[in-house]
Amino acid sequence: MKVGWQTIPMGQLCSIKSGKSDTKDAVEDGAYAFFDRSRTIKKSSRYLFDCEAMIIPGEGTEFLPKHFVGKFDLHQRAYALYEFSNQIDVKFLYYYLHHKSDYFPQVAVGATVKSLRLRHFEQLPVSLTSIPEQQRIVGILDAAFDGIATVKANAEQNLQNARALFESHLQSVFTQRGEGWAEKQLDEVVAADCSLSYGIVQPGEEYSDGLPIVRPTDLTTQVIRLDGLKRINPKLAEGYKRTTLQGGEMLLCVRGSTGVVSIASPELAGGNVTRGIVPIRFDGAKISQDFGYHLMSSGAFQEQIRKKTYGAALMQINIRDLRNIAVSFPSLKEQAEISAKLDALREETQRLESLYQRKLAALAELKKSLLHQAFSGQLIKDN
């Protein structure tokens, strides 16, 4: 530790107290801020505190502080830090708690839901320097973080714009279609050997070197590959020949996140799917697989999925309704032209997304680096 710095338990630097309210105490038109375990600041018709405070969730996976001045209500599973000692600048402590963001997850107790106790706050060692030096550090971090926030907001907006551009073009294809488009039901345009069936109901436990299966939770990328898939006993798939994959199928989620669609890579040939997925192969004389992916991703198709989805605890769509979904398509030649344009635009969109994601990651690392420098005494004074 640098000369002039000391370490003091946080319990000696402020009062720390949990709230008394519950989730049901939140009201839409409340006059006061209500802090609970979520990121969202809710409203309450009463207040428990009237002061400057730092509020930290007492349960969950993220224990980052919110800085607030005024009257507020507090959930019984959240903690307020207030009545700060004259040894510490409040904003300095705010930044310090972000710097020590890994502390609370490490000390939290509980197997399923991680939670904090009062002692975890009181025992947190806080590295302190003099008040003037704290204020100097806060000034540097304020200016730097304001700049980072601006750059981050621009990058996030650019990321949204890139995605919106592709989505807009995709939707226009299927809402402003030209002459010669045909309209059929889904079961009229699938291949003869595609019966639109559910996959394996009971896939069983992991089976070493067994049969690969795709689950709804695997549908996170456009193309699903072999790596990371669950393996099961091949005997469990013996009654599910209709959903055996050939590679290249559209994999449509019909249970849970209904409407999500991915493509089975060729290496999945011989594999299978679970109950929440329906593999779809189009009749190549009517719809190409490339065009089929864009068709199933379009707003027109997805809107029908939403309307036919039912269930409260577990959203799902039945096979009969799936077979009756209307699909529109042009000639195979026009399908190829449309697919080529959409594929090129998607590739450019993904390139921009990767660029902006790297920029966002770099900004996050810059913030971590600045905090590390600040609390290790490495922020150099201006001459």
Query: Residue 383: what pLDDT?
Result: 42
Query: Residue 380: what pLDDT?
Result: 65
Which letter, b or e, does each residue of 99-132 get, where b requires 16 or more Cβ atoms within 10 Å of its Cβ?
Answer: bbeeebeebbeeeeebebeeebbeebebbbbeee
Asked if residue 1 has pLDDT above 60, the reply is: no
Separation between Cα atoms, residue 274 and residue 203, nearest integer Å: 7
Separation between Cα atoms, residue 171 and residue 94, nearest integer Å: 45
Condensed to tens digits (0 to 9), the pLDDT of residues 125-155 reads 999 999 999 999 999 999 999 999 999 999 8
Condensed to tens digits (0 to 9), the pLDDT of residues 213-262 reads 999 999 999 999 999 999 999 999 999 999 999 999 999 999 999 999 99
Query: What does the block give as tokens for 249?
Result: 């199928």
Percent of the chain past pLDDT 90, that is, above it, reads: 79
Matching fold, domains 6-129 and 182-329: yes
Q: Which CATH architecture has domain 6-129?
A: Alpha-Beta Complex (3.90)
Rg (CA), the chain: 28
Separation between Cα atoms, residue 135 and residue 382, nearest integer Å: 14
Condensed to tens digits (0 to 9), the pLDDT of residues 313-341 reads 789 999 999 999 999 999 999 999 999 99
Percent of the chain past pLDDT 70, that is, above it, reads: 99
Beta-bridge mates of residue 200: 274
- What is the residue type of 220? T
Residue 381 DSSP class: P
Its pTM stands at 0.68
Condensed to tens digits (0 to 9), the pLDDT of residues 260-272 reads 999 999 999 999 9
CA 196 to chain centre: 30
Query: Residue 253: what pLDDT?
Result: 95
Query: Residue 97: what pLDDT?
Result: 95
Separation between Cα atoms, residue 265 and residue 289, nearest integer Å: 12
Mean pLDDT of the chain: 92
Listed by start position, the domains of the chain span 6-129, 131-164+335-383, 182-329
Asked if residue 2 has pLDDT above 80, the reply is: no
Query: Residue 51: what pLDDT?
Result: 96
Condensed to tens digits (0 to 9), the pLDDT of residues 175-226 reads 888 788 999 999 999 999 998 999 999 898 999 889 999 999 999 999 999 9
Which letter, b or e, does each residue of 60-87 get, where b requires 16 or more Cβ atoms within 10 Å of its Cβ?
Answer: beebebbebeeebbbbebbbbbbebeee
pLDDT band for position 35 (50/70/90)? Answer: very high
Separation between Cα atoms, residue 87 and residue 132, nearest integer Å: 10
Provide the sign of the torsion angle of the four alpha carbons 102, 108, 111, 112, taken in this order: negative
Separation between Cα atoms, residue 357 and residue 344, nearest integer Å: 20
Q: Which CATH architecture has domain 182-329?
A: Alpha-Beta Complex (3.90)
